[in-house]
Structures are given as C-alpha cells and as structure tokens.
Structure 1
Amino acid sequence: MRVLRVPRRTPGALCALLLLTAPVSCTAARGDDAKPAAASAPLSPFERLLPAPASVVPEGLGYAFGAGTVVRTGGPGAPEEVRRVGELLAEQLRGPTGLPLPVVDGEGGEGGDGVRLRLDGGAGELGEEGYRLRTTPTGVTLTARTPAGLFHAGQTLRQLLPARGTGTVPGGTVTDTPRFAYRGAMIDVARHHFPVEQAKRYVDQLSQYKMNTLHVHLTDDQGWRIAVDSWPRLAEYGGGSEVGGGPGGSWSKDEYRDLVGYAADRYVTVVPEIDMPGHVNAAQASYGELTCDGRAPERYTGVKVGFSSLCVGKERTYEFIDDVLGELAALTPGPYLHIGGDEAHSTPAADYAAFMDRAQAVVARHGKKVMAWHQLASARPAPGAVLQYWGHDRTSAAEKAAVATAARAGHPLVLSPADHAYLDMKYDKQTKPGLAWAGYVPAPRAYSWNPGTYLPGVPESAVLGVEAPLWTETVSTRSDWELMAFPRLLSLAELAWSPAAALDWTAHRLRLAAQGPRLDAQDIAYYRAPEVPWP
C-alpha cells in the first residue's frame, strides 16, 4: 500500500488529482488543526457503502451481473409484498445496468442464480428493518425478517454495483441493522411551494440511503399547501402566496395520497405538519374568524416569524383544528400528526399551554400520536408525545433542561439541532442560497456530533432518531433544494443508521466521495464540499 500524508487543508481539487493519478485515498485529520493524516488504500466496494453497515465479512468470489441475471422473490407462500419489493429493486437496477432483470417467483434452489429475496421470520436479530446480504459466485441472497428489511438490503446491493453499467458484486456477507428507528428529513413547502413530484423525487433520494421518514411542513404564515374540504379557502386563497410574492400553490388530496402511497412503497412514512398556534397568517388571511377581532390580515410574503397566533379563547378555533386534523388524519396512514408549536411568540405562555392541551387531545381523538417542536416541553406534553429538538449551541441551559426532563419522563426525542442538521444553513459565507442564524454548517459539522450523547441528561434510549429539516425561505428551485441537502443529508443518514463505533469523519468523507458518481448519475445537484475528495 502506498501512503500519502495530506494536510487537512489540502484543497479538494489536489486531493482528487492524487486519486486520479495514484492508487491512494486522501484523508483528513480530526479536529480543526492542520496536522497531516495518513491516507489509506482505495476503498473496496464494501468500504464505500453509505451508511456504513454494522458488519461486513468479505469472503470468496463475487457474483457477476449479466444478461441472464434474474430477481427471485421467494418460494411458495411468499407474501405478495416480497414480489413488490423485488419488482421495485429490478426497476431501480435496470436503469444503471441496462439489463432486463426479469422478476420470477421461487428461489430456484442451489441452481437458481441471480438475486434472491428471502423472508426469515426467525431472524429476530435483524429486527424490523435489518437485513443480511450474502454474495457467492452463484448470486446474491437478501434475507430479512420483514419486507422493509429486504428493501434496505436492495439499496445496499445498488451501491455494490457501479453507478453506471454492470459489474461484479464482491463476495462476502453484510449484516446490518439501524441504530435509530426514526431516520428522517423535513421539507418546508409552505415558504415556497413545490409540486408533489419534487417531494417524490426526494423520497427516492432518502430511501436509497435508508432514511424512513419524510416530514412535510404544509402550512405557515406564507402559504397553506393542502386542500381541506371543510375549509376550502385555506388552499384556494391561503395557498396563493409564498415568500417573495410568487404564485404559491397547493396540493390536492389526491396528490397528497399519491405522495403517501409512493413513500410507503419505499418504506418511508409521511409525517404531515400543521403548525399552530403560531405560523398561521395564511389560515387567518383565508378566514378572518380565526383571529380574535374577526378581521382577516393580508397575505404575507416576508420571512419574519412569531407575529401570528390563533385565538386561543375562541371555540371556533378548536372546530377549525378538529376539522383540519381530522381530514389530514384520514389521509395519513402513518402514526404521527405534527402540530408545530414553535415560535409562538404572540401567544402568552398560559394560553399556549391551554391551547396545546386541546390540540393534543384532538390528535388523540383522531387516532394519531402527537409530534411537536421541543417548545411543547414548556407546556404539558401528552403521554407519549414526540418532541423534535431544533436548538443549537447557543440555546439556553434552561430550555435544554426542560427537554431533558421531558425525555426522562418518557417523551421520545427526534434530534434536529439547527447548527448541525438544518440543511438550509449555509455551508460558508459564499453559499447561495441559505441562512446563517445558527452559524455555518460545512460538511464536517453536519456529521461531527453524536445523537446518543448530544443533549445533556438525555440517555440514548430516549432518542427516537434524527431528522434533517430543509426550510425554504431562500430555496425556490429543485437545484437550490438539492445543493443544500447534498451531501449533508448523506452524513445525517449515516448518523441515524450506523453504529456509533463506525462514525469517523476521516473514513466518512471518503464514503461521501465515493457517492459522487452516483449523485452525478442521478442528476442530483449536490454541493462539492471542499473537505471531501470528490473523484
């Protein structure tokens, strides 16, 4: 092995040049100093996997994909869902490989080469989403206890093949289970409207890196994006604005159903959010009865927060909430309704607590679990309510302590620290678009934190998972969206899935670089972070 020692601040372009001219990889030293770090040999296909798997045992010869490769979906009695997973995997592989990849029933016995999907109800060690991928010269066997695990195994197989063209899957066994159950991303379609097709594209991008939740921020001061039959002006009028004065838009119920179904086919759960009691100007502009004085405000196209509030003392407010959440619950098979609760600066603390009591009761009445931003911890979270923490290094100790107290009382936490996980934060001062109120978030900062130990006083057992929000005050196009999300989204996917012992920036940056050709092949407009030695 040839080893080069490259200072941390070596430009990415030079590092990439070294990769192209010699069998080496560039690595970075830990920390912020400029100490040189040893380089390693070029990564094997297993080492390029992202998220890093829990266990890999390389062994023997691999399996060469070719014109005769088939996808086999189990023997007699295999569930129809396994067939569906196999069909989707074959579709995902056909594009880059150019192979026909027919899907056939049956495992084919010892002579049945190709890709074999097997459910094993006795594989308790694999849990609800884990899998085993074993490759021999006769084929690749994907084993899981659930169809979700088979789907994740298929996404690993995709990464073991070239981004374009055919190849050989290396011999050996990958055994993998997730660290956290909730691995999510959030998109704000309220500040700027985006069509459902863009959200579906994001689902494809999330699911191939084993993320399993899409949180959709559907309403805010600047726009209301989901049709509600009982309050039609919410979408018709409240949907007709966005930041900067654009035309806005909204999703019909059929479009939302389409997104939910598309996501479910990829084992991604949609969590819809109706923000309250603040962030409601679009709703009040549509219906003046939702204000205390009965007067509808003008539609809002700015970016300030905290100025609007539902009228806590009006019974009509709770009829509105019941109608909206009831219709949304009927459209959403997932377990959660997110009711916001952040930045309610215009709602007195006592009113906020009283309002959230009633809003949480509405969620329960419609058969769903409450999710809310961590400000709910300062009120009275309902039993089992999930709190989403979005604080940062400068968040007060008292606020963090309130969240920790709620966690110890049994409220699961989803962690979205703004100075690590907010994808709308700029990478650096040159980044356009983006904001910087929580500081710059370069690629290493997105990765360099431990969800299991992040909040003082919160044990890892209280952390349900990690979510990467993308707010869209400054994001109005698909290219903006993808520039801000990638590659940081991949880092957060690894934090959420991989075992803590596997988390190391020096190795991770090389895994990120290895994803470059795959992102290029999928026409993803990612940011070429200078800390990553892109090929």
Structure 2
Amino acid sequence: MRRPRLLIPLLLVAAAGTATGASAAAPAPGAPAAATPLDRVVPAPAAVRPGGAAFTLGSGTRIRVPAGSGEARRIAGYLAGLLRPSTGFPLPVTTRGGADGIVFRLGGRDARGLGEEGYRLTSGGRAVTISAARPAGLFHGMQTLRQLLPAAVEKRSRQPGPWRVAGGTILDTPRYAYRGAMLDVSRHFFTVEQVKRYIDQLAQYKVNKLHLHLSDDQGWRIAIDSWPRLARYGGSTQVGGGRGGHYSKADYREIVRYAASRYLTVIPEIDMPGHTNAALASYADLNCDGKAPPLYTGTKVGFSSLCVSKKLTYQFVDDVLRELAALTPGRYLHIGGDETHATSHPDYVTFMDTVQPLVAKYGKTVVGWHELTGAHPVKGAIAQYWGRDKTGAAERQRVVDATQHGTRLVLSPADRAYLDMKYDKDTPLGLEWAGYVSVRRSYDWDPGSYLAGVPAGAVLGVEAPMWAETLGSSANLEYLAFPRLAGIAELGWSPARTHDWDAYRVRLAAQGPRWDAQGIDYYRAPEVPWVGR
C-alpha cells in the first residue's frame, strides 16, 4: 500500500545507540561516507520525512532560481560562493527552468503555510528543491542544505567529495519570531570585519536579530554628528586601556546592510541612564555637577548615571536616538536601563517615562532590559529578561505582571543564555558571577515555561548575549560562543517537542568537523561526543 504523503515529527534519535551519546559508526575503510540524515541538523527541523534516493552534487549541477527574483538569485549566488572552493564545481546560477540540480522556488503550493521564514526542502535523485513563501525562507533552507552536505564543503580548498544529500523532505518553520544574539562592542571594540564574521556564524543557525551594545562606561562606539566627542573621545579606549575605536556612520550602515543580506535585523543599544561614563567623560554638562569624570577602563558596573533633572540630558538623548533611528531600518531601538545603582528609583522612573516616547517619536519600538518593568513600559514595549533561575520572586513577579498588561519578553537568563559565562572553573576566558554555564545548562530549559505566569503569546523569543570584558579577539569570542550559541538558536527555532539533550548532543557533535573546517576554535565540551575526537 502506498504510504500517505505526510511529514512525521523530527526523530529525536536518528540511529540506535545515539541516545547514549555514542557517535555514529564510521564507514568501512575505503567506503564512501553515508549522507547526513535529514534530522541531524541544528536547529532541529519541525518535521522530517526521510527516504528515497540521495541527490549528488556534481560538476554539471546548476542552481536554478525563479526569473524576476533578485533576492533568490542573490541567495543562490551566496550558496554557490560557499560551495565552489571545496567542490571545484562551477555551479552556475540560472533562471532557466528545469527539475534537476538545486532548485529555489518562491511561492506556489509547496510554500503554503510557511510564513515569513519557513521553508520546505525536498531531496531526490535528480534535485534538491527549496521552496518558501519569502526570500528569508529560501535563505534558511539554504543553510539547512549546507549542513546536509559533508563538513568538508566548508573548506576553502578543493576536497575529494562525494557531495551527497540524503533523500526525503524537511518542512520547517520557526517557533519564535525573535532569535537573537547580542555583541558587546563597548567593553572591547570589534571591527566591521569581525562583526561580519560573527554575522555569518549566526546566520548558519537561523538567528535573525543582532543586538549591538554600542555604549557603556568603557566606550562609545557610534558616531553622532550632533555630539562628536562621544565617539572621538568616549570611544578612544576600552577595558584594560587598549586603543578602542568606533563605527563611523558609513561603518554602521555597512554592518546593517551586511546583516540584512543574511536576514538579520540590527538592534542598536544605547544603554542609559546608567552605564554612561563614556558619555559623561565626553561632555561635562551631562553631569549634575558639570564636571567630567575620567575615561574608565575597568569592569565595575552601576556607578554612573546621566543627570535626570537636567533638560540638556533629554536633548542629548533625543539627538542620539534621532540619528541612530535614521541609520537603522529595523523597528527596534534598545535603551538599556539595567544596573542603574547610581540612579534613584524615582529618577529612573522619570527618565524612562520621558525617554520611551522619544523612541516612538522616531517610529521605533522600545526595547529595554527587564528593569524597564519597574517603570511604566509603553504600549508595545519589549523587556529583555536577564535574571537567573534564583532571581527574587518580587523581581520576577514584576516582569510577569508587565506581560499581563501587554509587555512582551525576550528571554536571556544570565545563567542559561549569557555566552560570556565560563563553562567551568577551568575556562580561561569569561566571567562567573552568574555561575558556570555548561553546554547542557545553556540548552536544557524551555523559553515557553521559564517564567511561570507569563502568557504564552508574550514571549517574543530568545537572545544569547555576549559581554566582552574578557574578549580581545574574534577567537576569544568564538571560543565562548561555540557550542552554546547553537543551542540557544535551537531553542528559538525548533518546536518544544524536539528539545531533548541526549539527541541534541549527538547532532551538536556533528557540527564539530564543520567548525574545524571553518577555522572556529570552539570549546570541546566533555559532555558532547565530538566526532573524530
């Protein structure tokens, strides 16, 4: 009897023995490696139907795109650029119709119900077809296809292959609309090229928001024409006294453009009224006593505050938000609001109540750290929760109450999602104030039930922040991000029913050779059965 054409939920264990953490059996010497099972990718797809002939990428393979879609052509060109160095194949991109090769399709019957970011990937003997309703879905499907090819495809030199994709169908849509990562460029400055490298790494795991922490006590990183000393002087140093740096407006636009080409929205943050020493050092009049403090290169928090009672403060904030909004096509502006120990609570409420309408004035949506719920979040505001499992009941309840009155949440619990926390006591980088965050701990929680009492629809998504006190290079950043970033990305994308540590650790292990090929010096967590190690 013919089987009904229905997709089945993702198999949590792809092969016998993997639930115990054992690596998949190696092929016999001289035998070609088996194609990667369709359910062995990260984030876990929503539904998988394996079976049928595998597709083999060859020297004559073409990448076919619909005529009239510049976005589809661009995505196909990106894929071809990734695959050509390792395969040695020309992989031309064409609008000529055909049912062979790698086929991108926009719209049509196969794209129904896929939304803005979902995709359907079908692999068979003649073709791999990626269908989506929108270009973002094609891009995410392309990233899945990339993982279904052997890890050596990520290398920048010719490799022997073969380049097979297992047969079957994946139907995939995201659980949450907001799947973010934050990069602190204030404590240590990261160049445009370093940020682009991180964007490419985020995009592999279907992250769609890049939150840039652009100001703090140690550095102001974005040029503001109406207050030029902010970047020129306030951005001149960093933690430990290094040179620092800042983004010109052209630099920032390039980051925004590049992120958009990978379907990430940039969310800029200007932290205030605390974490503002770089601004206070740049302009004496922003201080209540009119005296500028020295630049700061340490790592303490909570000692600085804008002068809430001064009219000039709000002119300053208005100018900064106006210029930043003009540079940022995305809908969100993050106004910080955390660790304001030097600001009285009444002053904090006054400040936030005054500043939130300025964000709306420039057509943007307010995002703030969850302390914002201690003021009066405006309609549509988003609070980013960074509390811990043991955060006090009163503070948690304040956040829950805010969600019951319409405030939405992005979840970034510090002892789960903060990528700058040490893995264990021997980790050479990172901090430990929120405790050690192992790979399992960062993955083993559910955003949908993390805060009891929060309405299901109030959780907008998750974000993995990376604070940069101890990071002096991209290698440092990657060591702390990988492998935990992949787990947070999966929590944001994959259905809750697919979340299972024993199955995930096997899928995660298979990413190791891919990261090796990409030159990512990731942490070899002992709880993960890394392939070939």
Tell me the TM-score normalised to structure 2 length: 0.92
Q: 2:372 aligns with which of 360, 369, 376?
A: 376
Distance 1:310 1:479 in 2: 35
Displacement after TM superposition at 1:44 (Å):
4.5
CA deviations 1:237-277 (Å, max 9, x no partner) are 00011111111111111111111000101100000000000
Check 1:402–1:124 CA distance in 2 against 1; reply closer, same or farther (3 A cut): farther
Query: Which secondary structure state, in structure 1, belongs to the residue aligned with residue 120 of structure 2?
Result: strand
Check 1:339–1:169 CA distance in 2 against 1; reply closer, same or farther (3 A cut): same
The answer as to whether partners of 1:242 and 1:248 remain within 8 angstroms in 2 is yes
The answer as to whether partners of 2:36 and 2:148 remain within 8 angstroms in 1 is no
Query: Which secondary structure state, in structure 2, belongs to the residue aligned with residue 481 of structure 1?
Result: helix
The answer to whether the aligner puts 1:525 opposite 2:521 as a matched pair is yes
Gap regions ≥5 residues in structure 1 = 9-14, 24-41
Q: Which residue matches 1:242?
A: 238
Alignment of 1:156-195 (within 5 A): 156-164=144-152, 165=159, 166=161, 167-195=163-191
Tell me the TM-score normalised to structure 1 length: 0.91
Distance 2:119 2:194 in 1: 29
The answer to whether the aligner puts 1:271 opposite 2:263 as a matched pair is no
The answer to whether the aligner puts 1:113 opposite 2:100 as a matched pair is yes
RMSD (Å), alpha carbons: 1.9
CA deviations 1:463-487 (Å, max 9, x no partner) are 1000000001111111110000000
**Letter of the aligned partner of 2:135 in structure 1?**
P
Displacement after TM superposition at 1:171 (Å):
1.1
Distance 2:69 2:309 in 1: 52
Moved beyond 3 Å, runs of 4+ = 1-8, 18-23, 121-124
Distance 1:6 1:429 in 2: 28
Q: Which residue matches 1:202?
A: 198
Alignment of 1:70-81 (within 5 A): 70-75=62-67, 78-81=68-71
Distance 2:366 2:86 in 1: 41
Query: Which secondary structure state, in structure 1, belongs to the residue aligned with residue 396 of structure 2?
Result: helix
Q: Which residue matches 2:312?
A: 316
Alignment of 1:11-410 (within 5 A): 44-75=36-67, 78-108=68-98, 112-120=99-107, 123-164=111-152, 165=159, 166=161, 167-410=163-406
Query: How many residues were matched structurally?
Result: 505
Displacement after TM superposition at 1:74 (Å):
1.2
Distance 2:17 2:513 in 1: 24
The answer as to whether partners of 1:516 and 1:534 remain within 8 angstroms in 2 is yes
CA deviations 1:325-374 (Å, max 9, x no partner) are 11111111000000000001111111111111111111111111000000
Gap regions ≥5 residues in structure 2 = 1-13, 153-158
The answer as to whether partners of 2:36 and 2:150 remain within 8 angstroms in 1 is no
**Letter of the aligned partner of 1:98 in structure 2?**
G
The answer to whether the aligner puts 1:508 opposite 2:498 as a matched pair is no
Displacement after TM superposition at 1:98 (Å):
2.6
The answer as to whether partners of 1:203 and 1:263 remain within 8 angstroms in 2 is yes
The answer as to whether partners of 1:388 and 1:416 remain within 8 angstroms in 2 is yes
Query: Which secondary structure state, in structure 2, belongs to the residue aligned with residue 64 of structure 1?
Result: strand
Distance 2:303 2:238 in 1: 17
**Letter of the aligned partner of 1:469 in structure 2?**
P
Distance 1:249 1:126 in 2: 42
Distance 2:527 2:419 in 1: 17
Percent identity for Structure 1 against Structure 2? 60
The answer as to whether partners of 1:278 and 1:310 remain within 8 angstroms in 2 is yes
The answer as to whether partners of 1:291 and 1:311 remain within 8 angstroms in 2 is yes
The answer to whether the aligner puts 1:468 opposite 2:464 as a matched pair is yes
Distance 2:134 2:19 in 1: 44
Distance 1:257 1:147 in 2: 21
Displacement after TM superposition at 1:382 (Å):
0.8
Query: Which secondary structure state, in structure 1, belongs to the residue aligned with residue 146 of structure 2?
Result: helix
Distance 2:87 2:530 in 1: 23
**Letter of the aligned partner of 1:487 in structure 2?**
P
**Letter of the aligned partner of 1:169 in structure 2?**
V
Q: Which residue matches 1:35?
A: none
Displacement after TM superposition at 1:107 (Å):
2.8
Displacement after TM superposition at 1:93 (Å):
2.2
Displacement after TM superposition at 1:4 (Å):
6.1
